[in-house]
Structure 1
Amino acid sequence: METFIGRRKELAALEAAFGSERSGFVPIYGRRRVGKSELVRRFLRGKRGVYFVGKRAPGGLQMREFLREAAVALQEPLLASFGAQSWKEALEAVVDRWKGPGKLVLALDEFQWIVEADRELPSVLQEQWDRRWSRGNKVLLILCGSYVGFMEREVLGRKSPLFGRRTAQILVKPFGYQEAALFHSGWSLVDRARAYFVCGGVPLYLRAFSRDRSVEDNIAANLLDEYAALYREPEFLLREELRELSSYDAILEALAGGASAASEISRRTGVGNRALHYYLKQLQELGYVGKRFPLTGRPPVPRQVRFTLEDPLLRFWFRFVFPNTSFVQQAGATRAFAERVRPGLDAYFGACWERLCREGLPVIYERERVQAGYDVGEYWNREVQIDVVGVRRDNRIDICECRWGAVRSSRALARELKARAAGYPNPRGATIGLRVFTRAAVGGRGEAKDIRWHTLEDLYRT
């Protein structure tokens, strides 16, 4: 049996809802593969509950399957043949048969697909909640969905019939780098970071990387072997939710190849501006693409927006695998890695290191007991690119340089950082702090006493 890792806060939130003196309604949402379903199943251990996974199928078929699941879970065989003509009848039949003790958990997973087949279901649930369930402590309703935009609109949004009725909500995110490291506890920190650069914080992907192989061998075995589970994972992810995959593939390849401005993405893909923004919006709603702005402490300017491929596996796959599909299938995993992946891997990991440092700066702040609020991002203009910027509410700004590769001269690196910092706009006259993030300790760094130096080990230290 696989070890269940992390999600303590999420489980605690569900347990609190279950133990509450009133009925609960908890939407759970987040991008695919982050472990939402496993979280719900873990929570249901030792509890009586109906767990139903929606699918792309007619509403009547799904309703009958729901009743069969309820018949088994509640040990009420007659529910399996109950002739419900609507979700209202089905839900009332199930809840009415529950005599306790405690709450009955109704967990509807892949909720977006159930609603796709029956658009009235949110209104039905609203009616049941308002007229029956919310008045007692008999039910814990969990609605779980992978289409983030759908859940925000149709469950959490103001126009949803269910708006304002949730008693809690859980946005399940991929694991951060520290929790992701627990999947490969026997590896060096460098290898755990490199696995995170490829797999991100998605449990399914992290588990696919065997502790008995090197990171390089895991990449070849899992992403370059056409029979491996992850080889076509990006195609499956996109096909489950989207159409016109060729346009999405082209956009994701452009993003993985370094395009970030809408104009550059359009130029590389040939997708017109209006269509491009539609496709990008869909990818954002799925949680795969994000927006970024130069961080200055001022409101962002729309024309400065850049798009980024947030999911590490998609980013790696569209950078190295998708453009080389024919070669991979002809040459095989070992040769494809040697000739098409390895030459660009260190530079790729360097860019991933910058993202990890942006994720890690709040960890450093917490360790330094920074009390003020802050925003972490990056900065760029036509003259300067700054890897990490921390804008703090105590009138301090941290300007950071990140180096994954070997540092030959700490003095040269310090001069470069100071030159970049000089190009950062500071209209409020905030105190500028300088930081450097390197993979390992750098000799001579003590000479630059006005710079704080951090290593990979510092980021992972708990």
Structure 2
Amino acid sequence: MSRQKFIDRKREMEFLERAYKSERAEFLVIYGRRRIGKTELLLHFARDKPHVYFLATERPYRDNLRELQRLLAEFLEDELFGKVTFEDIDELLMAFAERIGDKRVVLIIDEFPLLVEHHRPVLSLLQKAWDLKLSRTKIMLVLCGSSVSAMESEVLAYRSPLYGRRTGQWQLTEIPFFHIGEFLPDYTIDDLIKTWGIVGGIPAYLLQFDPKKTFDENVVENVLSKGAFLYEEAEFLLREELREPANYFAILQAIASGRSRFGEIVSSTGLDKSLVSKYLSVLQRLRIVEREVPVTATIKEARKRGLYSISDNYFAFWFRYVLPNKGYLEAGLAEEVWERSKGDFNTYMGSVFEKLIGNQEVFLRLTGFRFTKLGRWWHKSEEIDLVALNEREKKALFVEAKWKEPSEREARGVLRDSERKAGLVGLEDWKKSYGLVAKKVEGKEGLREEGFLVWDLADFERLISSKGEV
């Protein structure tokens, strides 16, 4: 699909603009998983500024160096600069810095890890160029990369030659939920939440959904159909980012099938405990997996009571509906698989909806409750979907999130049960409130008059129309 959109990224743009206006040498590191929109962000930022954009590729280092030199010569409008022989990137960049003098120029090196992969001395050479020349100019150097592990270990880590040189860094994450309606303007709030449950806030994935097609059509054609962009994207990303993808696959399959405790994951995969611990740490750093502890847990309790889940919606959906059905999907039975999966998908959306409400920005915008801690609570067989704590004012809000349309009687039952479960949490001298978020709540106003806090998708509509602003 060729649609192009630049949506949101207000905070990221402010960060870049602030650095640009500093009038000093800037060395920024921008990174984030593939498809998150890094290149679009940087090109959008640089579009009205003197800039050079260079994309490193899989070709040999010397070929990349010559391409960078060509682009720099083109920017300088100097054919002779393009014909000079430079032995390495430090010489090239220092010569370029000499030519631009005190002009403000943005130099973007995209997919920087590829340069490092083909020529490890690049790190030390870039350090040399920065220390000797670039740091004394007004250049704005931006290193960008999609390999999160490589950017963190090779560029940002203490042992990196570039450590201490950067003047700022930003890890790009998904766009906020409130903005995904701009990709699919005719979708209902119900369909937007379901879409978010499948692709999250990844711009490139949202662009795969055709706004002229129904939600079901998009799922079948753009996720479940062999050959579609999102059909094998999970496998591609894991193989690109990780050295032992088979072991990571096993761990993600275990979590997707309901094994949430560390011991359960070890038993399911058959891998050594130390390896599982290492792999889970990597998946957490990549924001594919998260470890959650009860919101009221002490540090000691947190070590023992953590539960793992797939936090990335695309991976969660893929491991639940694509991978287990690969045989049928390969045979072209995408529609049949989706029809058969709809009942379970509604169950899946229950956890998705809870996750959406548990997003700190969404929770704050929806409820208006100022919290210092927000998360789930559980103990033995008892669980509360969300507990928001304001530790300074000793206030607590207990919220249940239900992907259903309860009657007034059912809603009241849920809220009364929240009162009971809140007593198990403790917090005896705290002021407590109780809330419910559902698709549609019958008798919502009456429940509110009784002192309960109730929200449904109509309230989400209001937030969507204002992009979450209050």
TM-score by length of 1: 0.91
Q: Distance in 2 between matches of 1:446 and 1:156?
A: 54
Q: Distance in 1 between matches of 2:67 and 2:429?
A: 64
Q: Which residue identity does 1:121 align to in structure 2?
A: V
Mean CA deviation greater in 267-276 or 442-451: 442-451
Counterpart for residue 389 of structure 1 = 387
Contact 1:181 1:193 in 2 (8 A): no
SS at 1:301 equivalent: helix
Mean CA deviation greater in 437-446 or 20-29: 437-446
Deviations 1:134-186 (A, max 9, x none): 2332x001011223343334333333333333333222110111012221121
- Are 2:405 and 1:406 aligned? yes
Counterpart for residue 50 of structure 2 = 48
Could you tell me which runs of 5 or more consecutive residues in structure 2 were left unpaired when the two chains were aligned: none
Q: State the Cα distance separating 1:99 from its structure 2 match.
A: 4.8
Counterpart for residue 26 of structure 1 = 28
Q: State the Cα distance separating 1:425 from its structure 2 match.
A: 4.0
Q: Which residue identity does 1:378 align to in structure 2?
A: R
Q: Which residue identity does 1:12 align to in structure 2?
A: E
Mean CA deviation greater in 68-77 or 213-222: 68-77
- CA change 1:314–1:74 in 2 (3 A) is farther
Counterpart for residue 376 of structure 1 = 374
Q: State the Cα distance separating 1:192 from its structure 2 match.
A: 1.1
Mean CA deviation greater in 232-241 or 361-370: 361-370
Q: State the Cα distance separating 1:297 from its structure 2 match.
A: 6.5
Q: Which residue identity does 2:159 align to in structure 1?
A: K
Q: Distance in 2 between matches of 1:281 and 1:134?
A: 35
Q: State the Cα distance separating 1:274 from its structure 2 match.
A: 1.7
Deviations 1:11-68 (A, max 9, x none): 2222222222211111112222110111111122133322222334443332223222
- Are 2:113 and 1:112 aligned? yes
- Are 2:280 and 1:249 aligned? no
- Are 2:318 and 1:281 aligned? no
Deviations 1:354-383 (A, max 9, x none): 001101x5445357665x552222122212
SS at 1:106 equivalent: strand
Contact 1:297 1:391 in 2 (8 A): no
What pairs with 1:128-207 in structure 2 (closer than 5 Å)? 128-137=129-138, 139-207=139-207
Contact 2:97 2:134 in 1 (8 A): no
Q: State the Cα distance separating 1:353 from its structure 2 match.
A: 0.3
- CA change 1:68–1:421 in 2 (3 A) is same
Counterpart for residue 451 of structure 1 = 452
Counterpart for residue 292 of structure 2 = 292
- CA change 1:213–1:49 in 2 (3 A) is same
Q: State the Cα distance separating 1:447 from its structure 2 match.
A: 4.3
What pairs with 1:210-289 in structure 2 (closer than 5 Å)? 210-289=210-289
Contact 1:410 1:445 in 2 (8 A): no
Contact 1:31 1:287 in 2 (8 A): no
- CA change 1:277–1:77 in 2 (3 A) is farther
Q: Distance in 2 between matches of 1:149 and 1:376?
A: 28
Mean CA deviation greater in 450-459 or 150-159: 150-159
- CA change 1:325–1:367 in 2 (3 A) is closer
Q: Distance in 1 between matches of 2:281 and 2:58?
A: 23
1:89 to 66, 72, 91: 91
Q: Which residue identity does 1:356 align to in structure 2?
A: L
Contact 1:58 1:117 in 2 (8 A): yes
Q: State the Cα distance separating 1:328 from its structure 2 match.
A: 1.4
SS at 2:435 equivalent: strand
Q: Distance in 2 between matches of 1:369 and 1:289?
A: 28
SS at 1:258 equivalent: coil
Q: Distance in 1 between matches of 2:429 and 2:459?
A: 30
Counterpart for residue 72 of structure 1 = 74
Among the aligned pairs, what percent are the same residue?
32
Deviations 1:358-410 (A, max 9, x none): 01x5445357665x552222122212122112122322122110111121322
SS at 2:425 equivalent: coil
Q: Which residue identity does 2:374 align to in structure 1?
A: V
Contact 1:296 1:425 in 2 (8 A): no
How large is the Cα RMSD of the aligned pairs? 2.3
Contact 1:378 1:387 in 2 (8 A): yes
Q: Distance in 2 between matches of 1:141 and 1:156?
A: 15
Q: Distance in 2 between matches of 1:27 and 1:337?
A: 41
Q: State the Cα distance separating 1:208 from its structure 2 match.
A: 0.8
SS at 2:329 equivalent: helix
Q: State the Cα distance separating 1:454 from its structure 2 match.
A: 1.4
Deviations 1:195-215 (A, max 9, x none): 111110001111111111111
Q: Which residue identity does 2:385 align to in structure 1?
A: D
- CA change 1:447–1:176 in 2 (3 A) is closer
SS at 1:175 equivalent: coil
Mean CA deviation greater in 25-34 or 161-170: 161-170
Q: Which residue identity does 1:416 align to in structure 2?
A: D
- CA change 1:381–1:82 in 2 (3 A) is farther
TM-score by length of 2: 0.90
Q: State the Cα distance separating 1:223 from its structure 2 match.
A: 1.1
Q: Which residue identity does 2:413 align to in structure 1?
A: A
- CA change 1:368–1:306 in 2 (3 A) is closer
Q: Which residue identity does 2:7 align to in structure 1?
A: I
Contact 1:49 1:74 in 2 (8 A): no
Contact 1:194 1:349 in 2 (8 A): yes
Counterpart for residue 344 of structure 2 = 344
Q: Distance in 2 between matches of 1:52 and 1:178?
A: 32
Could you tell me which runs of 5 or more consecutive residues in structure 1 were left unpaired when the two chains were aligned: none
Q: Distance in 2 between matches of 1:129 and 1:416?
A: 62
